[in-house]
Structure 1
Amino acid sequence: MRLRLHRFRLNKAVPLAISRGTTSSVEHLLLELEHDGLTGRGETGGFDTGHRAYETDAIAAELEAIAPRLEPLAPEPRQALEPLLNNLSPPARCGLDLALQDWWGQRLGQPLHRLWGLDPGACVATSVTLGLGESSAVLARLERWRLQLPSTRIKLKLGSPDGLEHDRVLVRAVRSALRPGDELQIDANGGWDLDAARQMIPWLADQGVVLVEQPLAPQSDPALDTAGFAALHGLATIPLVADESCWDLGDLLRLAPHVDGINIKLVKCGGLSEGLLMAQAARRLGLGVMLGCYSDGGLLNSAAAQLLPLVQWPDLDSHLNLIDDPFTGPDRQGDVLRPSERPGLGVQEVS
């Protein structure tokens, strides 16, 4: 196998502000894995969850270091590559995992979701994200989304540094702009402490919010992290979803008794291999599955879209907010995203 890396920049049409800061542009890596006349592609990049962070330069260094070890190997059997993959950081493993999966699907001439036996007809609408800001700016962002797609599921970022009253003002403003049938999700991105979360979650339930994601900051100590969710679980009737606290299957099993759902992100869990395992395990345990993204491009979200038939709460809108994405992203009808019927990841370059 021959591995090539290319850097590319993704610029947002509208910067996104969350409790940890604002993002307007990121640098990502395109991986090309060539073997036997086929080229599999993957995308990855740096990210920060508040308690764990990865830089794109460090990810690139990992992949460049492993490239010579890949040269005498073949993409299959995949099991033979696990020792190499397991030693990589999650985002580096994600990029390589996606390239391997894409190559495999192309070899077999089938999209991954079909090889896994998934039903694209089971896909549901994605949410669109409203970042933190003043009410007028947040409502203007909602209107911009509505010019682009139906936007029936809205995710509002909270955890404002201006405090709980600002969060409440944003919720009231967005609720006033909802149309019949729209639903409102809340993502605090770990921006509340335990007392604030205990105040906000019942209030949000009374406001008709359908779920609350990552109310507390993730903790490096798994026991402390689990205790935070345990203290909030059952506080209100709306689902409690773990994101920054849930990286892999081990975290899922740790948190399962104390949450109602998990958010799978490919660069966080290490790619589609782990993501598929987590989605299937979560469903078997009776948990809802959210499928999310960071500042990801169309290639990464096309890969994630292969899991969409297993997902209750899709949140794959990042590629829809880019002005220079080299890839087109998943197939879309209205605000329902579906995995492509093209082989592998279904990746398609912008023409």
Structure 2
Amino acid sequence: MDTADCCERIVRWEVFVRRLAYHREVRWSDMVESAAQFVVLRIETESGGVGAAEVAVKPTWVGATASSLVATLREVFEPIVKKVGLSHPRQLRDALEVIPGNTVAKALIDNACWDWEAARQRQPLWRLWGGRPVVELSWAVTRQAPQAMAREAAEMVDAYGFRNLKVKGGQGLNVDRAAVAAVRQAVGEGVRLYVDANGSYPFGEAEPYVRAMAEEGAHAVEDPAPLSPDGAFERLQCASGVPVLVDFGMTSVRDAALFLERGARILSAKPGRFGLSDARAMRNLADRAGAGTVAGLMGESALGTWCGLQFAALEGQALPAELSWFLSMREQYVTLVPRIEKGRVVLPETPTVAELVDWDAMREFEEQA
């Protein structure tokens, strides 16, 4: 059901800032951090329906800090949302487009509104969309010395049964090769590997890099260099023996269409970056082009994971969902944390992720951004 009978007035709009510590320091391609910061949105309409969502806030990922995002939500988007009201997420998402840019703010609102839609229809979103109740996941092995990456990979496979691992590259070709080889030796041939270089190399080195990673057993290579939907990307994909997974060069549904026209075989459609509406639109475009998507990693906590899994449950995913990063965190602010067994998670019948949060406790821990 994609329409609502009437528009509801939003009676409560709450924004929270939370910080969750990691078990160990994490090296991303552009930063080192010991904790992750999140902005959480809760909306409630006059009928009592509630929806919630989060975004992980890293300036180099989303173009905002927690403070700037909170201010943008309060000063720019809250007045629009309260004026328009809520009848269906797609209707509201269209209304938000009068403001240019601000993708992360729009994604946060979009995801909370889809959660509200699930509450309104009293069914989990994955059921409304015809998804599957069981979703396979992968684990991302972040940058460390190759043997440390191998130990982590083996531990996560043993503990959670992952059958797919995303190995973070970008430490130099020789180190990346050694890391993939060490991980392969540690986990055996039964675990599928792919590599994410986070655009670390010049485009002229992309083709030999993809070839080298494929020789080490990678089934796909994500962002070997900064990518654009042009002839150079088309030639790179044609010359590569494995899919070149497109992530950071894709900033919109329009970009997704352009990459697909240039022969992209897998797109990283991230609900935590684009919002569920646009991730779903990217998936539909990929499906029509004979390509696939993956529900990509955006550093989600368990709350964001439950949201992203609604999308990951849809057919047509080319790789298992990268929505297991919550395991890296010491604590959560949901009452139900995803349980991963044999690399898979069973989705609950709970209609909304908002129901999984103790909002009184959230208010007690609220940080001033």
Structure 1 and Structure 2 fold alike (TM over 0.5)? yes
Aligned mates of 2:104, 2:110 — CA distance in 1:
10
Percent identity between the two aligned chains: 23
Contact 2:203 2:226 survives alignment (8 Å): no
Deviations 1:292-321 (A, max 9, x none): 122211111111101123322111111121
Residue deviations 1:94-132 (CA, integer Å, cap 9, x gap): 1111211111111111011111222335x3x21111111
String of CA shifts for 1:116-161, please: whole Å, max 9, x gaps: 222335x3x211111112122212222331343012111111111x
Which residue number corresponds to residue 168 of structure 2? 157
Residue in 2 that maps onto 1:148: 159
Q: Over aligned residue pairs, what C-alpha RMSD do you find?
A: 2.3
Q: Is the 8 A contact 1:90 1:267 kept in 2?
A: no
Q: CA deviation at 1:217?
A: 2.3
Instruction: Say whether the 8 Å CA contact 1:296–1:318 is kept in structure 2.
Output: yes
* Partner Cα separation in structure 1 for residue 109 and residue 356 of structure 2: 18
2:207 to 173, 176, 198: 198
Question: What is the number of residues matched between the two proteins?
Answer: 340
Q: Does the CA contact (< 8 Å) of 2:22 and 2:330 recur in 1?
A: yes
Native 8 Å contact 1:266 1:293 kept in 2:
no
* TM-fit CA distance, 1:231: 3.6
Does 1:320 find its partner at 2:327? Answer: yes
- Once residues 80 and 243 of structure 1 are traced to their aligned partners in structure 2, the CA distance between those partners, rounded to angstroms, is 27
2-side partners of 1:190 and 1:267: how far apart? Answer: 20
C-alpha separation in 2, matches of 1:155 and 1:26: 20
- Match for residue 350 of structure 2? 342
Q: Which runs of 5 or more structure 2 residues have no equivalent in the other structure?
A: 1-9, 362-369
Contact 2:17–2:66 (8 Å) recurs in 1: no
| Aligned mate of 2:123, from 110, 126, 133 | 110
Q: Deviations over 1:218-257 (max 9, x none)?
A: 5xxxxx5534422411223211110111122111111112
Match of residue 25, structure 2, among 9, 15, 19: 15
Task: Name the amino acid aligned to 1:266.
Answer: P
Which residue does the alignment assign to 2:264? 259
Matched, 1:56 2:70: no
Provide the residue aligned with 2:5 in structure 1: none
Q: Distance in 1 between matches of 2:292 and 2:91?
A: 32
Contact 2:27–2:143 at 8 Å: present in 1 too? yes
Measure, in 1, the Cα distance between the counterparts of 2:184 and 2:270: 27
Following the alignment from structure 1 to structure 2, what is the Cα–Cα distance between the partners of residues 53 and 136? 33
State how far apart, in whole Å, the 2-side matches of 1:225 and 1:180 are: 34
Q: 1:8 to 1:274 in 2, by over 3 A?
A: same
- Partner Cα distance (2:83, 2:28) in 1: 44
Distance 2:90 2:178 in 1: 52
Please tell me whether residue 268 in structure 1 is matched to residue 273 in structure 2.
yes
Asked if the contact 2:88/2:117 (under 8 Å) is kept, the reply is no
What TM-score do the two structures reach when normalised by structure 2? 0.85
CA contact (8 A) 1:305 1:330 kept: no
- 1:158-307, aligned counterparts within 5 Å? 158-160=169-171, 163-218=172-227, 226-256=230-260, 257-269=262-274, 271-307=275-311
- Report the CA distance shift for 1:46/1:141 in structure 2 as closer, same or farther (over 3 A): same
Matches of 2:341 and 2:349 in 1, distance apart?
A: 14
Tell me if structure 2 keeps the 8 A contact 1:126–1:337: yes
Give the counterpart letter for 1:103 in structure 2.
Answer: W
On the 8 A contact 2:80/2:96 being kept in 1, the answer is: no
Distance 1:94 1:298 in 2: 17
Q: Distance in 2 between matches of 1:156 and 1:75?
A: 41
CA gap of 1:329–1:302, structure 2 versus 1, over 3 A, is farther
CA distance in 2, matches of 1:39, 1:168: 48
State the 1:77 CA deviation. 4.3
Deviation at 1:210, TM superposition (A): 0.7
TM-score between both structures, scaled by the size of structure 1: 0.89
Instruction: Give 1:101's aligned amino acid.
Output: W
Of 123, 146, 150, which aligns to 1:139? 150
Partner residue in 1 for 2:4? none
Q: Give the aligned residue type for 2:218.
A: V
Shift of 1:274: 1.0
Equivalent AA in structure 2 for residue 316 of structure 1: L
CA contact (8 A) 2:20 2:332 kept: yes
Change in Cα spacing, 1:31 to 1:335, as seen in structure 2 (3 Å) is: same
TM-superposed deviation, 1:79: 5.1
